[in-house]
A and B are shown apart, each in its own frame.
Chain A
Amino acid sequence: MKMTNIYEGSYQWIMFGRDENKPEKIIDTNQYMVRTANRCLLIDPGGVELFAPMLAAVLHYAPVDQITDLFASHQDPDIISSLGLWDQALPDAKLHASALWEGFLRHFGCESIEYVPIADNGGIISLDGVELQVIPAHYMHSAANFNIYDPQAKILMSGDIGAALEEAGAPMYVDNFDAHVEKMRFFHQRWMPSNQAKRVWIDRVRELDIDILAPQHGRMFKGDDVKRFLDWFEGLQVGIAV
């Protein structure tokens, strides 16, 4: 599991991904962690197969008892099917996820962890004074879907938005946007169901000051590539299967 510091201030953002030992047929995922003085938030901590390498990687940065919060952008297994294992490892932690998905996510096992339901209009997650905004991204692609925006680090963790299906060992950041487009096109056209939802999300996100757009699959976008992505996505017709 590779670890990349993507923000270093009074707290850190770390990206985990490109796990070399991942079983071949499961999709590669990016996990993120916000590490503050005494707490850690794991954002989309990953599937059950990823639990052991992910926790082992986190132990480079924090002890187990300081992993206090989990966030699931939506309900997919590659996002949060590891929940039952975190539930045994972190009995005092909180899971922040959509109120709509509670009855579904509990199927993964959530007896000790406190489920903190997020209302449709989003909210705030506070960690040692660091305030992270939970931004609605419904139908992008999941019916109840959220992003995490950090106004201080200027990072938007965008879930499946901006995701690309890449070869193993791909670089962490987009380095040639035009070449990258083809790795994203089908994913967005097929998985994103609604042009209307897309427009609402783009309008909302254009209001934010973003240095890094950090998706759950593939490379992150930095600087001008963030705007390039939004412009490209704006012109893309989605929901092509019907």
Chain B
Amino acid sequence: MKVGHTKSQFVAVASIAAELSAVMGVAKEISLAAANAKAIAFRAGEKAKGFQPITDFINELAKETIDLVDKINNHALSLYQMTVNEHRMSEAYDKFELVSVLAKGTTYEDSLEQPLLKAQQKMLEYRRVFKTNVTQLLDQLAEVMHPARAARVIAANSRIEASQAGEYLQSLQAVAESVDNAAQVIHDNVQRCRLALSVVDLAE
């Protein structure tokens, strides 16, 4: 039995960490943009009244994204360790199979049966746990898409509110623009994470 652990599995899991690190950076930028927008809206007073609650939403979305990414990051790290375990176990199992071929006719060849069986069970168990965790990680990544999508809706609303803010229009439009761009970047990075995970061979 050859289990589908490949170099690409290591690369996939490692690349998620890199993508998530970028997502984290962008989420922090959104949080900063929200603080900036709040200050502008405060200065604009009545003219930007509709904008003020939006800044709170933006901030919450950024926080939510940061928390989720943090959680996913930890999960990705443990998934990497699982990949190492599964790789080592699969390699060991392959070698044990080779031993059983080479040991044909030796006095104690039968003593290999138990270690071989245990290795097979352990390998399948690692594989099962890995598979479950990849599915969970994909779900978590889908979850991060929600605040990113909401941020784009909020960015659209922000543009409308900004248009009524007189001399503050440009500043608030810039905030809306940066939230929109950041949400797009998050969306793209998370998509790449999901794509990277999709190359992992989950076949038994």
| A62 partner residues in chain B, CB cutoff 8 A | 108
Measured CB to CB, the closest approach of chain B to A16, in angstroms, equals 13
Measured CB to CB, the closest approach of chain B to A10, in angstroms, equals 19
- Contact between B88 and A59, CB atoms less than 8 A apart: no
Residue of B103, B110, B122 touching A55 (CB-CB under 8 A): B103
CA distance A2 to B108 in the complex (A): 17
- Contact between B98 and A64, CB atoms less than 8 A apart: no
Q: Does A218 contact B (CB under 8 A)?
A: no
* Contact (A109, B111) CB under 8 Å given A51-B95, A88-B119: no
Residue of A52, A59, A84, A88 touching B111 (CB-CB under 8 A): A59
Q: Mark B77-109, 1 if CB is under 8 A from A, else 0.
A: 000000000001101100110110011001111
* Contact (A59, B103) CB under 8 Å given A64-B108, A64-B112: yes
| B89 partner residues in chain A, CB cutoff 8 A | 88
B contacts with A: majority SS: helix
CA distance A160 to B136 in the complex (A): 50
Residue of A53, A60, A89, A109 touching B96 (CB-CB under 8 A): A89
A contacts with B: majority SS: helix
* Contact (A109, B88) CB under 8 Å given A85-B95, A89-B115: yes
- Contact between A59 and B92, CB atoms less than 8 A apart: no
| B111 partner residues in chain A, CB cutoff 8 A | 59, 63-65
| A60 partner residues in chain B, CB cutoff 8 A | 106-108
Total interface residues in chain B, CB < 8 Å? 21
- Contact between A84 and B109, CB atoms less than 8 A apart: no
- Contact between B108 and A84, CB atoms less than 8 A apart: no
Residue of B nearest to A90 (CB): B115
Residue of B88, B91, B99, B119 touching A56 (CB-CB under 8 A): B99
Total interface residues in chain A, CB < 8 Å? 18
CA distance A62 to B106 in the complex (A): 10
| A232 partner residues in chain B, CB cutoff 8 A | none
Interface of chain A residues 30 through 82 with chain B (CB within 8 A) = 51-53, 55-56, 59-65
Residue of A52, A90, A109 touching B98 (CB-CB under 8 A): A52
CA distance A51 to B98 in the complex (A): 10
Instruction: Give chain B's interface residues, CB within 8 Å of chain A.
Output: 88-89, 91-92, 95-96, 98-99, 102-103, 106-112, 114-115, 119, 122
Question: Would you mind naming 24 contact pairs between A and B with Cβ atoms under 8 Å apart?
Answer: A51-B95, A52-B95, A52-B99, A53-B102, A55-B99, A55-B103, A56-B106, A59-B99, A59-B103, A61-B107, A61-B108, A63-B108, A63-B111, A64-B108, A64-B111, A64-B112, A64-B115, A65-B114, A84-B91, A84-B92, A85-B91, A88-B89, A89-B96, A89-B115
Leading 5 A-B pairs by shortest Cβ distance: A63-B111, A56-B102, A88-B92, A59-B106, A56-B103
